[in-house]
Chains A and B, each alone.
Chain A
């Protein structure tokens, strides 16, 4: 509550990354990165494999050690903003044969609020069911998670993020390996969240859909090449530089810029 109160008069920036450098061993994953996102931004992180996209999200979550630089989420250190941040990891990063149900996974979204030792109860179950309904998964609540399709797994992860009732959402490839119907429902969920003033930063691979699903783009290849609205920065010149001139010519919505 205190956090939300202080948020009213806090600055407009949802994410403020300044001169951030992160290394894994001796390899730099991110080099002197500056990223600023206003609250209510709907932003895609775009860049080739190994460009440090997931690392940027993890730095924003405050879970990777940084060599230098500064990260602020809603004007504070990420460690002090955990209650206002939701994270959707890559779907492939967990073992979907883990013995648990869909409802249980979504309830994990309440663990942050619950704190140590306290168990989820009726209230947490109700919150989770509400999020499942929103993601049209309510009838699968009791299912073992290994029985879900890829799209359903992704929607379960998003339901878990919704339960967190956050202000800022960091998502790692939420569109990876989902069917067209799920893709539509994820995109419209993101749109709704952004309309309600929530901020979304999402790693995204499909260049063709960036202009349709996102308003802002972060072009990243270890260094930040450009940050801005899709209109401003998402054009062929920038992308050719980003991917070393290997952008397929048929990315449709690029042709018009």
Chain B
């Protein structure tokens, strides 16, 4: 039996490299969304990205006359739609009595609904726009469609986001932990907030081709939640979440390329979920098993003497 990785299909190499990079980047960036409790924000960005992707496709076709599904065209559309949804949600919650969650939910529905509507409209055009048949893949993801150019897009955007994270590490850390204190130091909280949003949006849009707009949130939050179980240092948490995301991404690509013909996105997400489940059970100190053991050890001992009768 020959080793299966010797004769890897070059397409699979591109796809696996892409899903690995997407997993690592979204795992790392997801930690900050997780700690700032902004999971819903990420979900709004990814759902509204459908409208951006389909809109960019239609616009590119109208302007150039050719149909393209390259990430270089679709990612700016997704970025724009995600940012627009967040900006609108914020202005709704500051100008009305709707709270943040409600206005985010409203924007998610409007933009995702709009995306589905536009998608259906594109598919019903006659004569049909060439290349439109792949657009619905953005809902659930289609990693196999990743080209070499798409891979570079993922590397560039993801690498840029990670570099910013590294450069502004201490500022983002203190801003996330204690925003009031960071303001007292003179850090520009509004700009840091925007930067966090931009990083989150970047993490989302580079992943939607692989896992799709619906499941993307899982790839942001699940590796972070799993990593949090194992460590109590932010730097380790980010590294571990990146590693978990990368393993899920690589594993998803390899498994779905095997005979089973499974869809990549859902497999990636299921792997990340499995890692989370194991972490929840097995992690030292925070894990369910460790806590049950600690509780049992406590029950075996006598109550502290100080509380007893004098």
> Are the chains A and B members of one assembly?
yes
A interface with B by C-beta (< 8 Å): 58, 61, 63, 79, 82, 85, 87, 89, 93-95, 98-101, 104-105, 108, 111-112, 114, 116-117, 119-120, 144, 146, 160, 170
Q: A99 near B170 (CB under 8 angstroms)?
A: no
* B35 contacts across to A, CB distance below 8 A: 95, 98-99
Q: A93 near B178 (CB under 8 angstroms)?
A: yes
Q: A108 near B174 (CB under 8 angstroms)?
A: yes
Q: B186 near A100 (CB under 8 angstroms)?
A: no
Is B61 an interface position by the 8 A CB rule? no
Known interface pairs A63-B184, A82-B185; A101-B233 also in contact (CB < 8 Å): yes
Q: A89 near B180 (CB under 8 angstroms)?
A: yes
* A to B CB contacts below 8 Å, 30 in the list: A58-B180, A61-B183, A63-B184, A79-B186, A82-B185, A85-B184, A87-B181, A89-B184, A93-B178, A93-B180, A94-B178, A98-B35, A98-B176, A98-B234, A99-B35, A99-B233, A99-B234, A100-B173, A100-B177, A100-B232, A100-B233, A101-B233, A105-B177, A108-B173, A111-B170, A111-B174, A117-B167, A119-B170, A120-B170, A144-B232
**Nearest chain-A residue to B227 (Cβ)?**
A99
B interface with A by C-beta (< 8 Å): 35, 167-171, 173-174, 176-178, 180-186, 228, 231-234, 236-237
How far apart sit A40 and B11, CA to CA, in the bound complex (Å)?
A: 71
Tell me the minimal C-beta distance from B166 to chain A in angstroms: 10
* A89 contacts across to B, CB distance below 8 A: 178, 180-181, 184
Tell me the minimal C-beta distance from B226 to chain A in angstroms: 13
How far apart sit A117 and B231, CA to CA, in the bound complex (Å)?
A: 25
Known interface pairs A93-B178, A99-B231; A63-B183 also in contact (CB < 8 Å): yes
Tell me the minimal C-beta distance from A107 to chain B in angstroms: 9
Q: A112 near B186 (CB under 8 angstroms)?
A: yes
* A114 contacts across to B, CB distance below 8 A: 170
- What are the 10 A-B residue pairs with the smallest beta carbon separation, nearest first? A144-B232, A87-B184, A63-B183, A112-B185, A89-B180, A82-B186, A61-B184, A99-B232, A94-B178, A98-B177
**What does DSSP make chain B's interface, helix, strand, loop or mixed?**
helix
* A58 contacts across to B, CB distance below 8 A: 180
Q: B232 near A108 (CB under 8 angstroms)?
A: no
**Nearest chain-B residue to A98 (Cβ)?**
B177
How far apart sit A98 and B176, CA to CA, in the bound complex (Å)?
A: 9
Tell me the minimal C-beta distance from B240 to chain A in angstroms: 10
> Which of B35, B176, B178 has the most chain A CB atoms inside 10 A of its CB?
B178
* B171 contacts across to A, CB distance below 8 A: 111, 116
Q: B232 near A111 (CB under 8 angstroms)?
A: no
How far apart sit A160 and B169, CA to CA, in the bound complex (Å)?
A: 19
Q: A87 near B180 (CB under 8 angstroms)?
A: yes
How far apart sit A89 and B179, CA to CA, in the bound complex (Å)?
A: 10
Known interface pairs A63-B183, A87-B184; A99-B228 also in contact (CB < 8 Å): yes
Known interface pairs A108-B178, A111-B174; A101-B184 also in contact (CB < 8 Å): no
How far apart sit A61 and B168, CA to CA, in the bound complex (Å)?
A: 23
**Nearest chain-B residue to A161 (Cβ)?**
B181
Tell me the minimal C-beta distance from B87 to chain A in angstroms: 20
* A104 contacts across to B, CB distance below 8 A: 233
Tell me the minimal C-beta distance from B159 to chain A in angstroms: 18
> Which of B171, B180, B231, B237 has the most chain A CB atoms inside 10 A of its CB?
B180
Known interface pairs A117-B167, A120-B170; A100-B184 also in contact (CB < 8 Å): no
Contact partner, B237, options A99, A105, A120, A146, Cβ 8 Å: A99
How far apart sit A132 and B66, CA to CA, in the bound complex (Å)?
A: 65
* B234 contacts across to A, CB distance below 8 A: 98-100
> Which of B169, B182, B183 has the most chain A CB atoms inside 10 A of its CB?
B183
How far apart sit A105 and B35, CA to CA, in the bound complex (Å)?
A: 16
Tell me the minimal C-beta distance from A77 to chain B in angstroms: 12
* A79 contacts across to B, CB distance below 8 A: 186
Known interface pairs A89-B178, A93-B180, A108-B174; A101-B232 also in contact (CB < 8 Å): yes
* A85 contacts across to B, CB distance below 8 A: 184
How far apart sit A85 and B236, CA to CA, in the bound complex (Å)?
A: 32
How far apart sit A94 and B169, CA to CA, in the bound complex (Å)?
A: 19
**Nearest chain-B residue to A80 (Cβ)?**
B186
A98-B234, A111-B174 known; 19 other A-B pairs, CB under 8 Å? A82-B184, A82-B186, A85-B184, A87-B181, A93-B180, A94-B177, A98-B35, A99-B35, A99-B228, A99-B232, A99-B233, A99-B237, A104-B233, A105-B177, A111-B170, A111-B182, A112-B186, A119-B169, A144-B232
* B181 contacts across to A, CB distance below 8 A: 87, 89, 108, 160
* B182 contacts across to A, CB distance below 8 A: 111
> Which of B35, B173, B178, B186 has the most chain A CB atoms inside 10 A of its CB?
B186
How far apart sit A151 and B233, CA to CA, in the bound complex (Å)?
A: 22
